[in-house]
Amino acid sequence: MKKLRLIPRVVTARPLCCLAVAAALASPIRAAAPAATYPELGPLPVLKVDTAKAELGKHLFFDKRLSGDAAMSCATCHEPQKGWGDDAPLSKAYVGSEYFRNAKTYLNSVHARYFYWDGRLSGRDGPTLVRDSITETHFLNMDGRLMFLRLQQVPEYVEMFEEAFGNEASFGRVLKAVAEFQKTVVSQNVPFDKFKTGDAGAMSPEAKRGLALFSGKAGCIQCHNGPYFSDATQHRLGVPDNPDILDNPLRHITMRSMFKFMGVDNFENIQVDVGFYTVSKLNRHRGAFITPTLREVTRTAPYMHNGMLATLDDVIAFYDQGGGDVPDKDPLLKPLGLTAAEKAELKAFLEALSGDPVIVEPPPEYEYKVISNWTEEPN
């Protein structure tokens, strides 16, 4: 696992050339000093996709043969109809266990700088994320060699691997194909993106006022910035703990064993999700999580790492009161004093970050066709 590089959360540096120009233009009438500037909100880059690999990856994403007991696939937890996540506050896990965090959306995740709520994997390494999802006992609990032996017995896969890689199935090629498919699961026709690229009517006046609040009074842009609406940095907001993580032994065991694997000290006595602490091992990061994207947020309820906020109204009310009721929360969170109209405007803006539904129909499930080499031995 790559160690996270902690990046400064407020980008204030400006190129020297601009300072020089500003000095040259200095006039008696001075504009108010601009507040800190943040990476600009705007459309995500369009990625180049290898269609043969992505088509194979799509089949694999929906194929239950990728799990140990051949009973669940990536799509079991990342359902296209449920915003490519799950509508439960906390995710399921491999048979016999339960997970302790909300299933993150797969939609646009190819653009994440760090994967998972705690950012424990680099977003620049798609195949490693797929390997983690396939082999971790709490996800698909599958052995890589067994997996490609299964796939080699399906003639349609033999053909698709040949088409995509000019080669037979292997663990590494499975990882690459699924990572290629991830590039195709991205937003389409997003009102905010259309607005940013010149279609002034693509967002309602209400949503436009919401954008001004987002970037101003409500201060959301301090953490949700850039095309992905995330500063890729950890923050502790003080979201209330989900009691089910303590009450449900299966979730609790998954949480503690994950902390143990991550080398967290005293994991036997931890009762709540320590978040980014598992990565940094710094006390100030206990309960901090990486800022998630806000794209397609209308489809990803319930919200936060533990699904504790049911609706966007609840999320806005949470920020309006200045975040959770915990000591040492992020100093960027302050009571906002939003009026009812402003809350509605902020919500209208968040809604404008969702495009057309991105639905991929599960491909057909191909049968095993075992070709026997057995010949009756002569006596």
- Interaction site with ligand HEC (CB under 6 A): 66, 72, 74, 76-78, 91-93, 99, 101, 103-104, 106, 109, 112, 115-117, 129-130, 133-134, 139-140, 178, 218-220, 222-224, 235, 237, 239, 289, 291-292, 294, 297, 300, 303-305, 315-316, 319, 330, 332-333, 346
Closest CB 269 distance from ligand HEC, rounded Å: 20
Q: Which C-beta is closer to ligand HEC: that of 74 or that of 274? A: 74
Q: How far is the CB of 9 from ligand HEC (least distance, A)?
A: 8
| Cα–Cα distance, 162 to 51 (Å, whole number) | 14
Nearest distance from residue 159's CB to ligand HEC, in Å? 21
Q: Whose Cβ is closer to ligand HEC: residue 154's or residue 350's?
A: 350
Query: Nearer Cβ to ligand HEC, position 202 or 233?
Result: 233
33: tokens are 């000093």
139-142, Cβ contacts within 8 angstroms, sequence gap of 24 or more: 139/77, 139/93, 139/94, 140/66, 140/67, 140/68, 140/72, 140/73, 140/74, 140/94, 141/67, 141/68, 141/69, 141/94, 142/66, 142/67, 142/68
The residue (of 152 and 321) whose beta carbon lies closer to ligand HEC is 321
Angle at CA 141, nearest 5°, toward 136 and 142?
Answer: 110
Closest to ligand HEC by CB, 19 or 95: 95
Alpha-carbon distance of 126 to 109, in angstroms, equals: 10
How far is residue 268 from each of residues 102, 142, 264, 288, measured CA to CA in Å? Answer: 22, 26, 9, 20
Give burial (CB, 10 Å; 0-12/13-18/19+) of 331.
Answer: exposed
In the complex, least distance from residue 356 CB atom to ligand HEC, rounded to whole angstroms: 19
Spatial distance between the Cα atoms of 121 and 2, rounded to a whole number of angstroms: 7
Shortest distance, position 21 Cβ to ligand HEC, whole Å: 31
Q: How far is CA 40 from the centre of its chain?
A: 20
Tell me the two tokens of residue 190. Answer: 């997003």
CB closer to ligand HEC out of 202 and 221:
221
Nearest distance from residue 24's CB to ligand HEC, in Å?
A: 35
With a CB cutoff of 8 Å and minimum separation 6, the contacts of 170 are: 148
Whether 306 contacts 101, CB under 8 Å:
yes
Measured from the CB atom, is 139 or 259 closer to ligand HEC?
A: 139
User: In the complex, what is the shortest distance from the CB of residue 372 to ligand HEC, in angstroms, rounded to a whole number?
Assistant: 31
Q: Which of 229, 314, 243 is nearest to 272 (CA)?
A: 243
Rounded least distance, CB 230 to ligand HEC, Å: 8
Give Rg (Cα) of the chain. 23
Looking at the Cβ atoms of 130 and 245, the one nearer to ligand HEC is 130
Write down the least CB distance from residue 246 to ligand HEC, Å: 17
Q: Considering the complex, state which of residue 164 and residue 316 has its C-beta at the smaller distance from ligand HEC.
A: 316
What's the token pair of residue 253?
Answer: 């065991």
- Token duo for residue 87: 């509508």
